[in-house]
Structure 1
């Protein structure tokens, strides 16, 4: 049995895609902010935990990824550390550099935030496994892949 060809959106230009990304990200970040607040975190604190889920990071790297000032990052990490969600330790390669590491409690809270993002989960659950794989590959090409890599 052959599959019917998928309908393509005719004539979608970059401006239309950017508008849809804007709407999509607005829904995602609204969902994320509510979920983070349910764990008594600001959106910035929740985002820092999400970034650290990928692995330890230097304070400067966190500030760059989160596009915020280093002094802001220090305040965010101070509050997360006080709650036992992250810890700082000296970098093995440069003792002047502090790496921030997610604690097991930080991992639990990050998982709790994701599990409470119902609008996002429901939207993604409407996709077939094939569509999720395609979306993943497309987003990776658009936002992660670098031409010089």
Structure 2
């Protein structure tokens, strides 16, 4: 599986070249595509500790990719939200990650859907 998917294309470098941000920072942006999150929720979804998440969000904010505001229901909490530029970067990363690896390019859309379904099933089973 690694030869088929991972070793044929350096996906992390492709995302970094296309977006201008590190792969980890693009992960944070991708988590925000569906809407703003509290800093603590973003940290939990990424599996990062809160100080590291703050460092990443500080950098993304300096780059103009996210904004940080007070949560409407709790003045102590901060909400992180994508700027239009941040949204564009996140979407670019998502598109790159959605491209099938070269080793899978010979498969048709139905075959790719079966593989995706099986991988999602395997991932769900490991989360239990």
The alpha-carbon distance between structure 1 residues 117 and 146, as it changes in their structure 2 partners (threshold 3 A), is closer
| Matched residue count | 128
Indicate conservation of the 8 Å contact 2:18/2:92, yes or no: no
The structure with higher relative contact order (CA 8 Å, sep 6+) is 2
Give unmatched runs, 5+ long, in structure 2. Answer: none
Contact 1:28 1:120 in 2 (8 A): no
Instruction: Go from structure 1 to structure 2 and tell me whether the alpha carbon gap of 1:119 and 1:27 turns closer, same or farther (over 3 Å shift).
Output: farther
State the Cα RMSD in Å. 3.2
CA contact (8 A) 2:70 2:77 kept: yes
Counterpart CA distance in 2 for 1:24 and 1:54 is 31
1:69 to 49, 53, 56: 49
Deviation at 1:43, TM superposition (A): 1.8
Distance 1:138 1:92, change over 3 A: farther
How much has 1:91 moved relative to structure 2?
Answer: 2.2
Q: Secondary structure at the match of 1:96?
A: strand
Look at both structures and tell me which one has the larger radius of gyration over its CA atoms. Answer: 1
Distance 1:72 1:79 in 2: 11
Q: TM-score, normalised by structure 2?
A: 0.74
**SS where residue 35 of structure 1 aligns?**
helix
* Contact 1:32–1:113 (Cα < 8 Å) also in 2: no
Which ranges in structure 1 are unaligned for 5 or more consecutive residues?
1-19
| Map of 1:141 onto structure 2 | 121
Contact 2:30 2:91 in 1 (8 A): no
- Offset of residue 40 of structure 1: 2.7
- Aligned ranges 1:68-107 → 2 under 5 Å: 68-107=48-87
Cross-structure match for 1:55: 35
- More strand per residue: 2
Give the Cα–Cα distance (whole angstroms) in 2 for the partners of residues 114 and 28 of structure 1: 19
